[in-house]
Chain A
Amino acid sequence: MSTDPWVWIASIGTIGVLSGILWKDNVLFRTVEHVFVGLSSAYYVFTAYRNLVNLGWAPLKEGKIILVIPMLLGLSLYTRFTKRYAYLSRWGMGFLIGVGSGLAMFASINAQLLPQIRANMLQLTSLNNIILVLGVLSIIVYFFFSVEQKGAVKHVSKIGRYMMMLTFGVSFGNVVQGRISLLLGVLESLLGKWLGLMS
């Protein structure tokens, strides 16, 4: 059994999280849950603070006056906590949303839509290619609500639905296995590092 107090802290925390699932909602689980939220928030706030100092405050002190603009936009977000000036928070938010939208407009077309369409332009010379082309088309037909889903459209969209279910099943299998391997790592740490039952 480990004599390192940090290993004990890690193990008790891990057991606390697992206890919420394996047993029921309990004091240890809720305490550990709140500790985790507190630590994670502090970590992200601190990372943000460092970004602010390194990218904003330090260059501003060196004379890069233009950085006053993002600083003011950032500060405008805090007006949300006042009733009278809350509308000013829209300025900072508008900036963040504008950048996000501008990036998304190009990225969605250039990095997602066109490459996927291009990759699906396959010659129908093998069964796999036929499944790929018809699979994609049938799912798109399923989401095409401008035409009433009856007759041939209904049949094609039904195939699309089956294809999607297959995709979801495959994704589910992968996700579950990923999480199980994570759990195995946690159990390995408990049984090995803490209790010394594994070499």
Chain B
Amino acid sequence: MTLWRRDIPLLITFLTGIIYVLNNVGTISIGSTTLGELVQDLNVWVLIVAAFAMGVASVNLLRLHGEKVQRRREGWGYSLVLIATMLGYMLIGALGTTYQIPFFADLTNLVYTNVQSPLGATMWAMVGFFICSSAYRAFRARNVEGTIMLVAGILVMLGNAPIGESIWGGFPVLSKWLLDIPNTAGQRAIMIGAAIGAFTTALRTVTGIDRRYMGTIE
């Protein structure tokens, strides 16, 4: 059973990973097929498997909220709203795009433009409030590090907002310098560190040292 449970998934990960790596090394052929052509096919395969994965996520969501409604747990009404909205929108979308019924096609667009899109924008804008409230706690000038962050943040905001330039003409210049020089140095170092981390993690995964993606299913 170890073969089915452990070895085959490890082999699949290794083979697919190594094909993508070798494809970038040079032009390699397997019989009449080049590795580049194989990778092009695999890119389509990924989209297909990822589409199934999206289905798994939605089934999970429906199961979770369905159970909440079934057992009348606290807030089950909201779960019912979620399920109804999800299934309803999927049905409208299917009737509009797959079966090309004009009324449902228009309705899909209207719901997207007038409900999903403005709600998404407001949700994103709302995160600004959370950032400000957490910044209030983190940015208090209690030590040198906090003070540096606070001053840099304020200078950038003053440099970008029109009010900053009316207070002092040097704010936009200073803000641009902060963005171009110290910020670039910081971002560059962080990217170098992240790249080394990503490479190491990917190498560990492809070679089967890191198997956390297999979960704890036994």
Contact = CB atoms under 8 A, between A and B. Distances in A.
Interface of A: 6-7, 9-10, 13-14, 17-18, 20-21, 30-53, 55-56, 66-67, 69-71, 73-75, 77-78, 80-81, 86-110, 112-113, 116-117, 119-120, 128, 131-132, 135-136, 139-140, 143, 160-177, 179-180, 182-183, 185-186, 189
Contact of A34 (B14, B79, B126): B79
A115 B166 CA distance: 39
Contacts of B16: 94-95, 98-99, 102
Given A97-B13, A105-B17, A180-B125, 11 more contacts: A38-B82, A43-B112, A73-B52, A98-B14, A102-B16, A105-B21, A136-B185, A167-B182, A172-B139, A174-B156, A183-B128
B105 interface: no
Given A74-B51, A98-B206, A39 B189 contact: no
B10 A112 contact: no
A78 B56 contact: yes
Interface residues of B, number: 122
Contact of B49 (A70, A107, A120): A70
B121 to A, nearest CB: 6
Prevailing SS type, chain B contact patch: helix
A169 to B, nearest CB: 3
A95 B13 contact: yes
B149 A102 contact: no
Contact of A35 (B97, B115, B157, B213): B115
Contacts of B139: 172
